[in-house]
Amino acid sequence: MYKLFFRLFFTRMDPERAHHLAFRWIRLAARVPVLRTFLAAVLAPRYEELRTEAFGLRMHGPFGLAAGFDKNAVAIDGMAMLGFDHVEIGTVTGEPQPGNPGKRLFRLVPDRALINRMGFNNDGSAAVAERLDAREPVFRTVVGVNIGKTKVVPEAEAAADYVKSAERLARHADYLVVNVSSPNTPGLRNLQATESLRPLLTAVREAADRTVTDRRVPLLVKIAPDLADEDVDAVADLAVELGLDGIIATNTTISRERLSSPAHLTGETGGLSGAPLKQRSLEVLRRLYARVGDRITLVGVGGIENAEDAWQRILAGATLVQGYSAFVYEGPFYARALHKGLAARLQASPYATLADAVGADTRKAVQ
């Protein structure tokens, strides 16, 4: 039914407008106690065998919502109602900004992909921190906070901008993510170079530690799929050196290889997400796990459309997996179907738990 609705209705609507409309429906449903309880029972059934622990946090399962959907922390309970085991908000910047001018979001339906050049449009870290402080959770869910650089801040002053956000948001975060991999903020991906990344991550770690004294906020970094293999290795080594808690692999890509959508769409600038990203994201994940093993938690994201995609990421080394673009195409039963299929695959596997399956294929390949 959703796919018919998507084809007849959403595809005739501007993608960003459709996003806001669907987002509004989710938020409204989550505010009605009887309706949200019913929807959660239907869309978010729990599977005991999928229970997951990552960087000291317990979750109903491994599948979460990637950053970019709920930029301003306004629908955390709504997304939990739809079955996401963790919700990563953001990307949030030090200062509020409108993002890039429209039109800035494009559907590539034949490729089951999206291109966006949103440009970190968000309310800013002060407003998001205030919203999180006032939040009264309805559903128990892990909340990650993804932070990035304000566009007008020079690259040389980026660390201070990230620190500002970390100081405001760390106390509200179950985990904190440093995003240095979006292609839509000029100069941002330059921060992935280890000589820039080391002082940045060190500064954010120190800011989180002095802001939150009653616990250690897990710190992760999100990297691009377009990094060369040797740069992936360098980031992995740096993460181990600095004692990071995790790496998210991967963000959107600037590549336009093997697309079948019309040229007027594939030629749009911005980050490509969805099915075409699947293979490269999996390759980066395998490379990271081969390098870091179980010393760092890996999060697989990019082209995860179904349970098989999620299962392959887990076997490659991901403890957690995330989706976003496929949610647009699959609709509200996306998480339910993925959980059901993942539980079936675990039951049919030789592994007693998901934790036993993490990295199994990559370990075999390197032996």
If you write DSSP's letter for every residue of 18-67 in order, what string do you get?
HHHHHHHHHHHHHTSHHHHHHHHHHH----GGG-EEETTEEESSSEEEPT
pLDDT digits (tens, 9 = 90+) for 221-242: 999 999 999 999 999 999 999 9
pLDDT digits (tens, 9 = 90+) for 257-314: 999 999 999 999 999 999 999 999 999 999 999 999 999 999 999 999 999 999 999 9
Q: What is the pLDDT of residue 348?
A: 98
Q: Which has the higher per-residue pLDDT, 6 or 114?
A: 114
pLDDT digits (tens, 9 = 90+) for 165-206: 999 999 999 999 999 999 999 899 999 999 999 999 999 999
Cβ pair 192, 160 in contact under 8 A:
no
67 is in an annotated binding site: yes
289 is in an annotated binding site: no
pLDDT digits (tens, 9 = 90+) for 102-146: 999 999 999 999 999 999 999 999 999 999 999 999 999 999 999
Q: b/e per residue, 262-298, with b = 16+ CB within 10 A?
A: eeebbebebbbbbbbbbebbbbbbbbbbbbbeeebbb
120 is in an annotated binding site: yes
If you write DSSP's letter for every residue of 260-322 in order, what string do you get?
-S-HHHHTS-SEEEEGGGHHHHHHHHHHHHHHHGGGSEEEEESS--SHHHHHHHHHHT-SEEE
Where does the pLDDT of residue 3 fall: very low under 50, low under 70, confident under 90, or very high at 90 and above? confident
Active-site residue set: 182
Which range (1-10, 22-31, 167-176, 236-245) has the least confidence? Answer: 1-10
Q: What is the pLDDT of residue 198?
A: 97
Q: What is the pLDDT of residue 170?
A: 98
Share of the chain above pLDDT 70, in %: 100
For the chain, list the domains and their CATH numbers: 2-366 (3.20.20.70)
Q: What is the pLDDT of residue 366?
A: 83
250 is in an annotated binding site: yes
Q: What is the pLDDT of residue 51?
A: 98
Where does the pLDDT of residue 72 fall: very low under 50, low under 70, confident under 90, or very high at 90 and above? very high
323 is in an annotated binding site: no
* AA letter at 235: V
pLDDT digits (tens, 9 = 90+) for 138-161: 999 999 999 999 999 999 999 999
With a cut of 80, say whether residue 367 has pLDDT above it.
no
Cβ pair 340, 83 in contact under 8 A:
no
Count of CB atoms situated within 10 Å of the CB of 190? 12
71 is in an annotated binding site: yes
pLDDT digits (tens, 9 = 90+) for 74-90: 999 999 999 999 999 99
